[in-house]
């Protein structure tokens, strides 16, 4: 098994991490082989702060930031970006409002200026806000008729009851309709500030120049009112299987999502679970699940697994698209495969192949400025340490079949799964 040269991987030797007095953290990795620069970042103002009757408020606020600021109109913001071939955008997750952009290295001061204006001084103009609301409502109406989206949405709500992870960041039609411009202003004033803001800069620019650009645009930002997120509710795994079917009339396919809680991203057994997930439903033709359910039995159009790990917890999911007539049989086969996965170690060959896959694809994921920026942002978000990539191959190779089995047994209980399907009425399949 070959190991990528650590000299090409980001680490403490070529990545600078700085903390400004006002609470902003900057990570900079120069790449003078590139004429461009990528910025990624987040601030802790995510949907976990949303009031229950106005779910989607953080997401709405994030999308509204570039609709106009105290110094530029919506059109002027996009003209400024287009004039230099740059881009900038915002989104939201449970914990954070995230942002990302790209420009030529010489235009980084402009991009950071636009970022700072959007973060610090949005004006939420009424006409633009209503256009944005209409776009969001259209998206939510489409989501409500999508079998995969509705299965996933319901799965999250059952796996994470009474928790922000179980709620959609983009809200519901009725909650988005309730949000007023005053709510956007209030959310911005209460939750936007420099404390906890992280900015990653990767590309053809030096550390000193990048640092000074951030200091010039955001170094004096203060918000004494900025609120810190209170501890979130404890998440406990289900104690018995919960089954739900969402009826969407007129659909010809049923989408299935089933699974359980998974590890936190920082959990010691995350890497063993991740390698196990690759074997279970990712590698090759979607691993064991894809082989048994799709290739051998022909019961699914697609079938795979995913391991989603966040700060507080995660989910370990199996997803499949099936003919409604095959739904029950597909569920039975998946549960059978989960029982095997949690009762016997994976083979040495399966683990060797997955380890080689993990180690081999790492350099590919870090070939671009955007790949490096996103990876460094995750290192900061989950407090993984700047040497994470330098020790990655060694840690991957150290995982044993018994480690994978232990992780599987820790998180997967085939007798206590969340099983959600969405499609036509089940009796239509008979």
294 and 154 assigned to the same domain: no
306, two tokens:
């995913």
3-state helix, strand, coil in the chain (%, to 5): 50, 20, 35
Domain that holds residue 169: 31-218
Whether residues 46 and 193 share a domain: the answer is yes
Instruction: Say how many Å lie between the first and final Cα of the chain, rounded.
Output: 50
CB 26 within 8 A of CB 37: no
Domain of 416: which CATH number? 3.30.830.10
Looking at the structure, tell me whether residues 61 and 176 fall in a common domain. yes
Instruction: Count other Cβ atoms within 10 Å, centred on residue 195.
Output: 16
Residue 175 lies in a domain: yes
The pLDDT value recorded for residue 2 is 44
pLDDT of residue 8: 83
Q: Is 313 helix (H, G, I), strand (E, B) or coil?
A: coil
Q: To 5 degrees, how large is the angle CA 86–CA 87–CA 93?
A: 155
Q: Which residues of the chain have pLDDT under 50?
A: 1-2, 4, 428-430
* Whether residue 301 is found in the same domain as residue 184: no
Query: Within a domain: residue 36?
Result: yes
Closest by Cα among 45, 47, 89 to 175: 47
DSSP 252: S
289 and 212 assigned to the same domain: no
CA distance 323 to 328: 10
Q: Is the pTM of this model over 0.85?
A: yes
Count of domains for the chain: 2
């Amino acid at each position: 098994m070959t190991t990528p040269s650590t000299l090409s991987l980001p680490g403490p030797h070529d990545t600078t991490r700085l903390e400004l007095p006002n609470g902003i953290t900057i990570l900079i990795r120069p790449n003078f082989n590139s004429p461009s620069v990528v910025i990624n970042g987040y601030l802790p103002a995510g949907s976990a702060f949303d009031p229950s009757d106005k779910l989607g408020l953080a997401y709405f606020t994030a999308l509204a930031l570039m609709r106009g600021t105290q110094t530029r109109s919506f059109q002027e913001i996009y003209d400024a970006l287009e004039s230099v071939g740059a881009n900038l955008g915002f989104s939201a997750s449970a914990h954070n409002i995230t942002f990302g952009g790209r420009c030529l290295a010489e235009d980084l001061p402009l991009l950071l200026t636009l970022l700072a204006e959007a973060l610090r001084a949005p004006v939420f103009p009424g006409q633009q806000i209503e256009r944005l609301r209409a776009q969001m409502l259209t998206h939510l109406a489409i989501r409500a008729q999508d079998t995969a989206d509705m299965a996933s949405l319901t799965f999250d709500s059952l796996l994470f009851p009474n928790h922000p992870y179980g709620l959609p960041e983009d809200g519901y039609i009725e909650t988005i309709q309730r949000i007023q411009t005053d709510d956007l202003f209030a959310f911005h004033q209460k939750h936007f500030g420099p404390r906890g803001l992280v900015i990653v800069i990767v590309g053809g620019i030096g550390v000193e120049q990048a640092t000074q650009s951030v200091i010039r645009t955001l170094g004096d930002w203060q918000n004494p009112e900025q609120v810190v997120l209170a501890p979130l509710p404890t998440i406990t795994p289900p104690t018995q299987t919960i089954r739900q079917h969402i009826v969407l009339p007129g659909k010809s396919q049923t989408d299935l999502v089933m699974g359980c809680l998974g590890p936190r991203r920082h959990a010691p057994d995350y890497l063993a679970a991740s390698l196990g997930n690759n074997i279970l439903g990712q590698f090759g033709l979607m691993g064991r699940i894809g082989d048994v359910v799709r290739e051998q039995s022909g019961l699914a159009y697609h079938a795979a697994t995913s391991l989603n790990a966040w700060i507080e917890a995660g989910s370990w999911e199996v997803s499949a698209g099936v003919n409604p007539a095959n739904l029950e049989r597909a569920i039975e086969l998946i549960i059978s495969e989960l029982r095997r996965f949690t009762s016997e170690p994976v083979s040495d060959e399966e683990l060797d192949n997955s380890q080689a896959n993990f180690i081999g694809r790492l350099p590919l994921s870090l070939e671009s400025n955007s790949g490096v920026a996103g990876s460094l942002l995750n290192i900061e978000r989950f407090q993984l340490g700047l040497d994470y990539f330098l020790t990655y191959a060694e840690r991957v190779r150290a995982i044993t079949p018994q480690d994978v089995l232990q992780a599987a047994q820790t998180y997967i209980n085939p007798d206590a799964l969340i099983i959600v399907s969405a499609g036509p009425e089940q009796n239509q399949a008979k």
